[in-house]
Structure 1
Amino acid sequence: MATEQAPAPALDRINGLLALLTRRPVSLYATAVLRIGYGLLYLVFLLREFPHRDEIWGPGSPWTPDMARQLFDQTGWSSILTLSDSRLYFEICYAAALVTAALFTLGWHTRAVSVLFAVVVASFHARAIFMTDGGDNLILLMAVYLVFTACGRRWSLDARRARRRATPAISTVKPEDEWLRHQLQCFRETLTAVIHNCGVLVIAAQVCFLYGSAGLYKVQGASWGNGTALHYVLNLQLFQPWPGLSHIAADHAVLLAVVGYLTVLLQVAFPFVLFSRLKYPVLAMLLGMHLGIAVFMGLPLFSGAMIIADAVFLPDRFLRPLGHGARRAVRQMGGRRPEPYQVTEPTPVPQQAAPPQAVRPARRAQHPQ
């Protein structure tokens, strides 16, 4: 009897996982944060490099379109920017990339725009493959992963339009057609939930792999073992946006050693603390680490990409109140603004004679004595 009942907990756990995978999409608010974050980050990146766009991706780049096409023949990459060497074509592509990033951030027809956004990121990444860093690689991966998620169901123009259309309608369909429509709708919702949940799982696994591999790679280095790695990093001229600040930080050898050991510990332990209460302190410390990388090493794109990726581990019960609070703050700010004065014409209302019994109590109330 004991041997027959032993597999029951394992079967219940498997059934629970299958139900979680197929019942409904999870982490909708987290994927919305990823959509807004990466769309806005790439939009700011394109605007920041707008004065240098021709030298980086355009026909006037030292890495010419012909050289890029020769590399594509060897690597299998492709880019819409190399379809023509015309400067007008490049300017149109750049303007389309800006519009696509903005629409992806706003969540306008997200299913189609997410594909366009992934094509834009892949094209710009492949065109200047030797001028990218870890931030570009991560944004490219996340842009592809977000195509398979329902990242437009929250905090988007699509969600706003869906709320406005959510009105009950009188059905004029035959019962057998209604049953078929219901079955197709259930199949569609289940398929969407499965693809979305698998996409979220892949994103989470990607972030865990990044942190785990980075931590294990640091463990193998002698400079990280003796605590001098950050000291050497701060003295590299290539990563000194503010040399004075870097020199001040480099003078604190003991503090840098402690921060280095803590960095390795956080990265190695990150995949193992996701299902415990230590997840939130670890995420907070990783946020501080990425802010330090952005300030001291001058890598804001990489730091921003990693900070946004960490949001996939924040549950909806944590993100939902933030959205409600922001919406409430916007409404309060909007209510404090004085409304413009508008002159309206009085609407003619026909006068009606009041009955005598309705007037007499009013007169008595005015003169009680």
Structure 2
Amino acid sequence: MTKIITLYNHKGGVSKTTTTYHLAYAFAEAMGMKVLVVDADPQCNLTELCLSRIIDALDVKEEEGETTTLPGSSVKDALWPRLEGERANVDVDGIVLTQFDEELPLFIFRGDIGLSEAEDRLSYAYSQRMTSDMHQKRTYVAVNDMLRRLGALHGFDVILVDVGPSAAALTRSFFLACDRFLVPVAPDRFNYQAIGSLSHILNKWITEHMQVVPDFQKLSLNVPTRAPVLRGIVMQRFQRHKGVAKAGFKVWIDRVRQRAVEELIPSLITASGAEGVAKHCLTEPLCAEIHDFASLAPMMLSNSKPVWRLTKEDTEWQGHVWEQRSAAMVEFRDRFFALAKLAIE
């Protein structure tokens, strides 16, 4: 059965999209899994990252006066007929996915700036979920139903969903459709604050959703029946000295960890029971530490590869510089492979 996973934090700038991208490769490379990434963020950063080479080629044609379009279906393309009431559910057979790596079973269900227009419809469906309005009930379950049937149709082992840094209806719909989630954070005071507000947001989302599950099941609607399970907090975007986080970052790493223990984890257990939090999180909520990519970041972006797949030819680094950077690449690979294993087990 397909496992649906998201990385969610309503605080932006935490490398959520970059980590989703690297996790997709980790699942495919380390575990031999067939992976779909879903760009449910109207900013479309994941689409740009996965399809950068295709986009570059299309941009050349645009410069030559040719009108071009991105390959495959967008999430908005698929959802819109359902949201408009033209269909009872999403036509998953009509969704065209794009493979973004020729060597690995990695596919993208691309984003669309216009997906933000779905906010009002999904918000209204949420407000009407307890009424007898069948149209709104079908809209409420549309995202979950679409992802579940899409995963089964194509035999995906994992679906990774990239949601926007918001607490609005679109993000809520995709979050509630997931089986499990990771919380990416950076070690600073604003992410410390975000853990506190995230505790309230997720508690409210889960509690209110679980209230309607029995009613939707009676109507044979494909509703998520369990709350997403927290698999851990991913600490990112910090600098190290001699292999450990610098003091200025360490203080916030410790504070974020403590706030997760005192607020986030108890709020999730209150909303969904002990099964809403992975057991390892009860003793250590930080499941991975991914330090700053530094000079590897622009190389990753310009070559459209995860950092550990960069070559000498890609970077043009030589000698001691290459030895240093290649050692860092191996470390990042091992960290992402371990994170993928923890997320899926």
Per the shorter chain, which TM-score range?
under 0.3
Q: Which has the higher strand share?
A: 2
Larger Rg: 1
Q: TM-score when scaled to structure 1?
A: 0.25
Q: Which has the higher helix share?
A: 1
